[in-house]
Structure 1
Amino acid sequence: MTHSDDRHTHNHDHPHGHGDGHDHGHAGHSHAPAVTADNAKRIRLVFILTTLYALIQAVGGWLSGSLALIADSGHMISDSAALLLALIAYQVAARAPDARRTYGFHRVRVLAALANGATLLLLVVWIVWEAIARFREPVEVLAGPMLVVASIGLLVNIAGALILNAGNKGDSNLRGALLHVMGDLLGSVGAIAAAIGIMFTGWTVLDPILSVVVALLVVRSAWRLIAESIQVLLQATPAGIDARQAEQALTELPGVAEAGHFHAWTLTDDASVATVHVTPAAGADSLRLPAVVGDYLRERYGLAHITVQVDPPGSLQQH
């Protein structure tokens, strides 16, 4: 039985003689969701703010002789690099699909999110390493200049966090950038607290203690970002979708006798795709099955692109 259904804006059927049916919830054949230009603009603005503050912090650390501020300026520079990577990812993702990469280049955004998470973990390792060194050999910190520069950093990071938080948080690339800024924000709070504590007590050990606390707060979010990115790259079934339950539910639809070989995966952030095989029930119009199955899967699981293959009756029981 060879037939298929391509449903576009006007919901019409086209037999192609190959047994596959494509059910789209949008017009046209593009499988790639649009790059969010607003998110790119937000990351670009935060990149500029972060880079400028990193330079200010480096100069402030050099003038005050504060190694803590100089070290944190390196932290900010690494975050600027991560934000720049995110911007590059948006530019690449905006490229149109071609004959070899029919899904487009949106997976670059997932790779960038993975890189962001990895750099966050490396940053955590560096912070802990530096903290251990300062426990062993305390470094003099000039609390006054440290407080001034850290307060400026807090304002910059709050502004950056608000800018990014107002964007589309379904975008893993933006979420990665937001995590970096939140790490900076927590670092600024810790630096302010350490500066005030050192001013009143003279305990320079407060600086590495608070650095470790910040590192522990960052590592959980970074690991989650890495885990989610790896799941997407491994084409794991999206959260909330159980393949066996989906197949069982499809057999209860009008005209569907069997369902099997269901596969679903995340294309990027806000778009998931799926393929499934079904067989028609006795007397059912097999040309209509792709539309029926596609409508159900899209409404039930929010899938963006669905390919339905209609096989001869009883063929799925042989697998």
Structure 2
Amino acid sequence: MSEGHSHGASASSKRLAIALALTTTFLVAEVIGAIVFKSLALLSDAAHMMTDVAALAIALAAIKIGERASDDLRTFGYRRFEILAATFNAVLLFLVAGYVLYEGILRLFSPEPVGSTGMLIVAAFGLGVNLISMRLLAGGADTSLNVKGAYLEVWADLLGSIGVIGGALVIMTTGWTWVDPIVAIGIGLWVLPRTWILLKNTTHILLEGVPKGLSMSAVRATIAAVPGVTDVHDLHLWGVSSDDVNASVHLVIAEGQPPEPVRFAVLTKLDEVHGIEHATVQVELGPDGDKTGPGHGDTPHA
């Protein structure tokens, strides 16, 4: 694991730990408030807050586990655990959103009295906690799907808190208790498509898809343009986690061409042009494709 990744993981874990402590503390208060004030919107926000706690805890555990070195059993190490964690978070949020939608529809047909003042106070505190947590997680959300999953959980809950505050104000001024389930349904509908995007991204990585920002044709063209390369085949691009890229490729070089300088040039180009630092290059000589080996390694550095 690179030093840069190690520092990034350490910073992310510290932010996650602080956000987890804040969110867990408020979750207890919000659940109590939802029960006391009989607010489905507040309960839906508490449910999202519960998934926030789970997401933050799992994300934190994923970083800690991901820092473990590779071994003879898991040669890529444990970094993919963060993708599994992000996938779990997405599935969990899907389930919670579905439950909130179901309960919201039921409440539309049989509204219940809501303690709007208490609902407003609890939601306002929740908004503050979510703002702090989002600020803490924003730095790592662009580089880690694991942290991004936790960030989206908190973002959804922040909007939920805003919705609950708005709903409480409407109920206080009009007495329309049906606003409570409407807010809950709105939160659920907002969360679902964003959760789907996260799940699609994590599934793409688990299926060894081409990492975001890379193009097979562009990488192939870069390799083919290296002097001495006559053919490129069996090119594969994949990522173990959300912030690394691996490649393997077979290439044919012209007869009489020394293989090692060509392999070195290909590895260098992959790093310089596409940021691929870990690549395996199998060189095949001449028209008969005689292989030279082992032909693999990390990108060379001068």
Q: Same fold (TM over 0.5)?
A: yes
Q: In terms of mean alpha carbon deviation, does 244-253 or 159-168 score higher?
A: 244-253
Match of 1:39 in 2: 12
Over aligned residue pairs, what C-alpha RMSD do you find? Answer: 2.1
Match of 1:273 in 2: 246
- Among residues 203, 208, 211, which one is paired with 1:235 in the alignment? 208
Match of 2:194 in 1: 221
Q: In terms of mean alpha carbon deviation, does 94-103 or 276-285 score higher?
A: 276-285
Query: Does residue 98 of structure 2 align to residue 118 of structure 1?
Result: no
Q: In terms of mean alpha carbon deviation, does 114-123 or 237-246 score higher?
A: 237-246
Aligned length: 288
Q: Does structure 1 conserve the Cα–Cα contact (< 8 Å) formed by 2:51 and 2:153?
A: no
Q: Deviations over 1:137-195 (max 9, x none)?
A: 10211111111111111111111111111335210110000011011101100000000
Distance in structure 2 (CA, Å) of the matches to 1:244 and 1:237: 11
Distance in structure 1 (CA, Å) of the matches to 2:192 and 2:289: 46
Q: Deviations over 1:31-64 (max 9, x none)?
A: x954611111111111111110011112333444
Distance in structure 1 (CA, Å) of the matches to 2:196 and 2:141: 21
Match of 2:298 in 1: none
Q: Does structure 1 conserve the Cα–Cα contact (< 8 Å) formed by 2:40 and 2:104?
A: no
Query: Does residue 171 of structure 2 align to residue 201 of structure 1?
Result: no
Q: Secondary structure at the match of 2:140?
A: coil
Q: Secondary structure at the match of 1:267?
A: coil
**Counterpart residue type for residue 61 of structure 2:** I
Q: Does structure 1 conserve the Cα–Cα contact (< 8 Å) formed by 2:230 and 2:251?
A: yes
- Among residues 277, 282, 287, which one is paired with 1:309 in the alignment? 282
Match of 2:105 in 1: 132
1:298 Cα deviation from its structure 2 partner: 1.6
Structure (1 or 2) with the greater helix fraction:
2
Query: Does residue 126 of structure 2 align to residue 153 of structure 1?
Result: yes
Q: Deviations over 1:103-129 (max 9, x none)?
A: 100000000001111111111101111
**Counterpart residue type for residue 81 of structure 1:** A
In structure 1, list runs of 5 or more residues that go unmatched: 1-28
Distance in structure 1 (CA, Å) of the matches to 2:43 and 2:259: 69
**Counterpart residue type for residue 18 of structure 2:** L
1:210 Cα deviation from its structure 2 partner: 1.9
1:281 Cα deviation from its structure 2 partner: 2.1
Q: Does structure 1 conserve the Cα–Cα contact (< 8 Å) formed by 2:48 and 2:153?
A: no
Distance in structure 2 (CA, Å) of the matches to 1:168 and 1:175: 4
**Counterpart residue type for residue 255 of structure 1:** G
Q: Does structure 2 conserve the Cα–Cα contact (< 8 Å) formed by 1:258 and 1:316?
A: no
Using CA pairs under 8 Å that are at least 6 residues apart, name the structure with larger relative contact order, 1 or 2.
1
**Counterpart residue type for residue 158 of structure 1:** L
Distance in structure 2 (CA, Å) of the matches to 1:315 and 1:211: 67
Match of 2:150 in 1: 177
1:240 Cα deviation from its structure 2 partner: 3.5
1:314 Cα deviation from its structure 2 partner: 2.0
Match of 2:23 in 1: 50
1:245 Cα deviation from its structure 2 partner: 4.3
Distance in structure 1 (CA, Å) of the matches to 2:289 and 2:255: 15
Q: Does structure 1 conserve the Cα–Cα contact (< 8 Å) formed by 2:41 and 2:183?
A: no
Q: Does structure 1 conserve the Cα–Cα contact (< 8 Å) formed by 2:87 and 2:199?
A: yes
Question: Structure 1 residues 245 and 157, CA, compared in 2 at 3 Å: closer, same or farther?
Answer: closer
Distance in structure 2 (CA, Å) of the matches to 1:72 and 1:57: 8
TM-score scaled by length of structure 1:
0.84
Distance in structure 2 (CA, Å) of the matches to 1:67 and 1:225: 26
Q: Does structure 1 conserve the Cα–Cα contact (< 8 Å) formed by 2:40 and 2:180?
A: no
Match of 1:10 in 2: none
Question: Structure 1 residues 206 and 292, CA, compared in 2 at 3 Å: closer, same or farther?
Answer: same
Question: Structure 1 residues 80 and 259, CA, compared in 2 at 3 Å: closer, same or farther?
Answer: same
Match of 1:108 in 2: 81
Q: In terms of mean alpha carbon deviation, does 265-274 or 67-76 score higher?
A: 67-76
- Among residues 42, 65, 71, which one is paired with 1:69 in the alignment? 42
**Counterpart residue type for residue 284 of structure 2:** D
In structure 2, list runs of 5 or more residues that go unmatched: 291-302
Distance in structure 2 (CA, Å) of the matches to 1:111 and 1:183: 20
Question: Structure 1 residues 231 and 66, CA, compared in 2 at 3 Å: closer, same or farther?
Answer: closer
How much identity, in percent, do the aligned residues show?
34
Q: Secondary structure at the match of 1:306?
A: strand
Q: Does structure 1 conserve the Cα–Cα contact (< 8 Å) formed by 2:48 and 2:93?
A: no
Distance in structure 2 (CA, Å) of the matches to 1:280 and 1:292: 12
1:295-306 equivalences in 2 (<5 Å):
295-306=268-279
- Among residues 219, 225, 228, which one is paired with 1:255 in the alignment? 228
1:237 Cα deviation from its structure 2 partner: 1.4
